[in-house]
Each structure stands twice: as C-alpha cells, then as structure tokens.
Amino acid sequence: MALDEDKALAEEVLKKYDRESDTMNYTGIMAKVVSAIAITFSIFQLYTAIFGVLDAHLQRAVHLGFALALSYLLYPSRKSWSRTKLHPVDLILAILGAAAPAYICIMYNELVMRSGIMTTPDVIMGVIGVLLVIEATRRVVGIPMVVVVLVFIAYAFAGPYMPGVLAHRGLTPEQLIGHLYFTTEGIFGIPLGVSSTFIFLFILFGAYLESTGLGKFFIDIANALAGWARGGPAKVAVISSAFMGTVSGSSVANVAGTGSFTIPMMKKLGYRKEFAGAVEAASSTGGQLMPPVMGAAAFLMAEFVGVPYIDIVAAAVIPAILYFAGVLLGVHLEARFSNLKGIPRDQLPKAWVIFKERGHLAIPLVVIVYLLVTGFTPMRAALVAIVLSIVASALRKNTRMKPIEIVHGLETGARNVLGVVIACAAAGIIIGVVTKTGVGLKLASGLLALSGGYLLPTMFFTMIASLILGMGVPTTANYVITSTIAAPALIQMGVPVLAAHMFVFYFGIIADVTPPVALAAYAASGISGGKPLLTGLNASKLAIAAFIIPYIFVLSPELLMINATAVTLVFAVVTALLGMVGVSSSMIGFLVTKNSKWERLLLFISGILMIIPGLATDIPGIALFAVIALFQKKRAKN
C-alpha cells in the first residue's frame, strides 16, 4: 500500500512541476492510435540507426513530423481541456504538424534543384511549420522559451532600427522563413540533427533500463552501501540519484523517481523537511552531470565543440566527482551537527544478494562505456546497449521483460523524447536568427565590453545569463542559447573551447536548484512537505560545488583533463576534494564542532584555495584548513 502511495505521489509531483509529464490520458481507440504513432516513431529511428540515416534534411524532417504530431495529440492547448478526449483543434494541428515537415520530404528533390528559390507554397508551408514549432514549444517546453524565440524573431525584422552594434540590414519574411525552414541552419540545424540520431537512441536506452527495474536496483544498492552510515538515508539519496543520472536527463524526473523513496526515509531519521528535499533536489540535478550518459545537451556539446562524445564524458568525470563529493560532505556534516544515526544493518538489504539477483541489469551501462571508449559512435553504442538491455533482463526470470513490455518501451522512449525534440527545434530558430544576422558575435563583443575585457567579470555575466535562462528553459535549449551567445565571449578571451562550453552547460543545469524558480527543489518540497523557497536555498548550499567548479576549470583546465599529466591530475583531484571539505563545512557551519562566523569565512577561503590547482594556492589552503581543524579539535576536547 505504501509503495502505491509513493508512486502516486511521484506521478502527482511530475505532473505539477514537469510540464513534459502532464499529458493526455486517452482510452479506447485514441490510446491505440497514439501508441501506434509513438511506436512507429521509435521503429523509424531504430531502422535508420541500423541501416543508415537519411539525408540530413530528410532525417530531421521525418523526426520533427513525428514529434509535432505526438505533441499536439498529447499536450492540450489549455489545462482546462479534458485529458481523456481529443479536442478538434488539437487533431487539426497534429495533422498539420505531420504535413508541414512531410512537404519537405515530398518536395525534396525539387527544393534542392531550386537551390533557395522559394515559391508561394514553400512560403506558406514554411510559415505553418515555424508557427507549429512555436505553439508546440508553448505546450511542451513552456512560455519562457517561447518569449526568447519571439524576441529573436522580432530582432531579425527590427535590425535597421536597432542601436549601435546590434543594428543589421534586417530580413524580409521570405528570407527568414527560407533560412529557418528550408536550410539546415535553422529549425533543422545541428540540435535537431543530434536529436534525430544520438539523443533519441539514448533516451530509448534509458526507457528500457527503467523498464527492467534498474532504478530500484540503484536505490537498493545505495541503501546497502550507505544506509548504515551516519545520516544514511540522505547519503542513499545522493548515491542513488547519481546512479539514476546515468539513465535520466531530467532533474525533476529524478526527484520524483528516487525522492518518493528517499525523502520519507530522511524525514523519519530526523532531517528537517526542507533539508531532506534539498538533498534530493541537489543530488537529482547533479545526475545530469554524471557520466557516462549525461543530459541531452552533452551530445550537442560534442557536435558544437567538434570532439568525440567520449571526450565530453572524460572531461565531466572530475567535476562530477567533486560535485557529488560536496553534496555528500554537506549531508555528512549536517548529520554530525544534528547527531543523526543511520539505519540498523539488520534492516538493510545485503549488497552481495542484490548483485546476485539483479546485478546483470547494470551490464548494458558497463558495455556502453566500453563501446564509447573503444571508438564506437554514440549511435552504434546506444543501439547495441538497447538490444543488450532487453537481453540482460532476460537472464533471470524475475527481471525478464515480456514481449508487450518491449513494445511499451518503444512507446515510452518516443514519449520521453518529445520535450527534447521540440526544445531543439525551437533552439534552431534562435540559431538561425543568430547565423543570419551575425548577432552572436555582436552580443559576445557587448559582453566583453560590459566586463571591461576582464575574464572574471565575463564569467560572472555569463553565469547570470545561464541561470536566468535556466529558470524557465530546459537544459538543452539553455545550453544551445548560451553556447551560441555567451560561450564565444569566453573563447575570445583565450578560454579553451571545451571549458567555455562546459561552463555554460553547468550553470544551465544548476538553475534547477537556484531560487526563485528552482523546479527540482520545488518538486522535492512537494514530496517532503517543506517550504519550496527554503528547500531551494538549502539545495543551493549543498550544490555550492556547481557554482565554484566551473570558475576553477576555466582558470585551470586540468580539471577537464586538458593538458594534464597523471601526477598533476591526481594532485589536483586530491587537493580539490580536500577543498570541498572546507567549502562544505563553511556552508553547513560545522567541521569538528560548530563553526564561528570567522571560521566559516576562513574555511571557505581555504577550500577555494585548495580547489584551484597549483602549489601556490594548495599549500596556504591546506595550512589554513589544518589550523582551523586543530583549533576546533582542541575546543571540542575542552
């Protein structure tokens, strides 16, 4: 009974805080129609992955056609409309959503031969296609993203009237539509290209892993490993959310999936409601930073930076470790401060029993890492992992997927990808305007002028822009916008390309726990019963590493394994972990004993000094930390 209540609560939280989960609930023939379209969508993606993708424009047009049709069938125009009956308006828009991209497929050869010369039917279908993408963005992604898109479209027309460096010749409607809809530099640009190949397969892979019960396996393993320790349930939340991040790209979905188990455990142990929710929110948000399967934006980063995806994974390893180390330390110090115990060992599952019964479910994750490291393309690695997840589940009867569950996996994967597809299409509109008007370089130059040409102020303004966009825009779209506008400013100042892109990626993600709009924290408060704003503030304190580390790896790219030797790398990691102890103890207010105000300040300074690679900062940082620790130890003894 309790399990059913937890599941119901998780679903309620998802629908309230995750727009992508608030969909229609059809029955009868309409449910079968939607399922058939979604399954066909997945089959198309699998077919092209196995036998070769179509020409870029064709592949992306079919991909978008399926996504638009499903979006209008699953997401009603108004929340007040029935969730069980299809509205005629939605049916018409779903048909148009399939027809507008289909026009490109049908007229493809003629469009290529005309080479940019547009006819009246082209313009009409292009306008319909752009408007359909904007409306689908409103329904699936949210109003903030629509506002950003409309601002960029307005800028495309208002160029002659803009002041200073923002001025440009302006575009006619035909020029803008032609660029946005009939080239691969707008809606059908790189973001949608990555979505139609790598991202879809990895989301489908995640859907199958969840179907096998891997999420419950992660929670049970985390319980066995850390449930007995001081503040055990909170550490279970951190570890299980880190694991879940390898198969889920949504912080709110992670909160609902693991939080319905871990938050009640933390409250029972004695954690405050707001702190219990904050632990889950910070941990679930960090899941998108955790290799090997990071958020969808990581695949876009590989394309934008022009490096193999495995290089993005390698660069993310140390920052992810430092992030979760910071959250774990915060949890541990809070448990010591409040004298919270763990769960008795006899009430916890045995790790070896769990591995014996369900350890085979993790085989696909191990294999996909191996395939990526050995040179397989992400698409091929994901394809193999999908097949292997089904095969691995069949190794034991209690985890074996039934044929109907395999089919349902195809439907779930198609449903789960809709938010990413629509966000990528909307981001393509922004990129199209940027490339056509050249505003990207102008905004980068303006950012440099605003910061006076200094690196730290430029990083600060870039961080603020990423956090503001991240408050209402999904991580994928947030990354596309900031990497197009803000990252070039950092690159112009000599920051390595990968470090600049990772910087905006981090702050786009951490916006999910940054008040006032902290969706992951608000979702966690919905489960814990705590105050949303206070939960967000606590989550921001626990996630302090995510606010510090990006500055450090821009200043010292060794943390991203850029130009790092084995010795410098090991030393940088060890001192950075020590630094996280200093920062976390400063945030929580406890080290050996309760910190005074000046001790909190000095601990924060010592932590920052140790996180920055290099002996010149590490030695004074270690010395300052050691003095405070010895002083507190003596005080505690007395």
In this structure, is residue 426 part of a structural domain? no
Range of the domain at 123: 2-147
In this structure, is residue 77 part of a structural domain? yes
In this structure, is residue 11 part of a structural domain? yes
Average pLDDT over residues 512-527: 82
Tell me the CB-side half-sphere exposure of residue 245, using CA atoms within 13 A: 27
Q: Are 513 and 334 in contact (CB under 8 A)?
A: no
In this structure, is residue 393 part of a structural domain? no
Instruction: Count Cβ atoms below 10 Å from residue 482 Cβ, excluding itself.
Output: 26
CA 337 to chain CA centroid, Å, is 32
Residue 176, pLDDT above cutoff 90: yes
The β-bridge partners of 594 are 590
Residue 294, pLDDT above cutoff 80: no
Task: Find the Cα–Cα–Cα–Cα dihedral 624, 629, 631, 632, rounded to 10°.
Answer: 140
pLDDT band per the 50, 70, 90 thresholds, residue 41: very high
How far apart CA 191 and CA 440 sit, in angstroms, is 17
Residue 39, pLDDT above cutoff 90: yes
pLDDT, position 193? 93
- pLDDT above 70 covers a percentage of the chain that reads 95
Average pLDDT over residues 57-62: 96
DSSP H helix total and E strand total for the chain: 31, 0
Residue 542, pLDDT above cutoff 90: no
Residue 86, pLDDT above cutoff 60: yes
Average pLDDT over residues 606-634: 89
Domain count for the chain, please give it.
1
Residue 136, pLDDT above cutoff 80: yes
Q: SS3 of 384, please?
A: helix
Residue 620, pLDDT above cutoff 90: yes
**Could you report the per-residue pLDDT of 420-466, keeping only the tens digit for each?**
899 999 999 999 998 898 887 777 788 888 888 788 888 898 888 88
Q: Are 146 and 473 in contact (CB under 8 A)?
A: no
**Helix pair 615-637, 597-611: axis angle to 10 deg:** 150
Lowest mean pLDDT among 242-256, 260-274, 482-496: 242-256
In this structure, is residue 521 part of a structural domain? no
Classify burial at 300, counting beta carbons within 10 Å of its beta carbon; exposed 0-12, middle 13-18, buried 19 or more.
Answer: buried
Residue, of 222 and 12, whose pLDDT is higher: 222
How far apart CA 254 and CA 187 sit, in angstroms, is 29
Comparing CA positions, the residue from 321, 346, 328, 354 lying closest to residue 230 is 328
In this structure, is residue 81 part of a structural domain? yes
Average pLDDT over residues 135-160: 91
Residue 483, pLDDT above cutoff 70: yes
pLDDT band per the 50, 70, 90 thresholds, residue 1: very low
Classify burial at 242, counting beta carbons within 10 Å of its beta carbon; exposed 0-12, middle 13-18, buried 19 or more.
Answer: buried
In this structure, is residue 184 part of a structural domain? no
Q: Are 312 and 301 in contact (CB under 8 A)?
A: yes
- What percent of the chain is helix, strand and coil (3-state, nearest 5)? 80, 0, 20
Terminal CA-to-CA distance of the chain, rounded, Å? 51
Q: How many residues does the chain have?
A: 638
Task: Find the Cα–Cα–Cα–Cα dihedral 568, 572, 574, 578, rounded to 10°.
Answer: 150
pLDDT band per the 50, 70, 90 thresholds, residue 334: confident
Ordered DSSP codes for 130-158 = HHHHHHHHHHHT-HHHHHHHHHHHHHHHH
pLDDT, position 290? 81
Comparing CA positions, the residue from 571, 613, 493, 569 lying closest to residue 314 is 569
In this structure, is residue 58 part of a structural domain? yes
pLDDT, position 470? 73
pLDDT, position 338? 78
pLDDT, position 183? 92
Residue 253, pLDDT above cutoff 80: no
Ordered DSSP codes for 581-631 = HHHHHHHHTBSSSBPPHHHHHHHHHHHHHHHS-SHHHHHHHHHHHHHHHHH
Average pLDDT over residues 358-380: 87
Q: Write down the mean pLDDT value for the chain.
A: 86
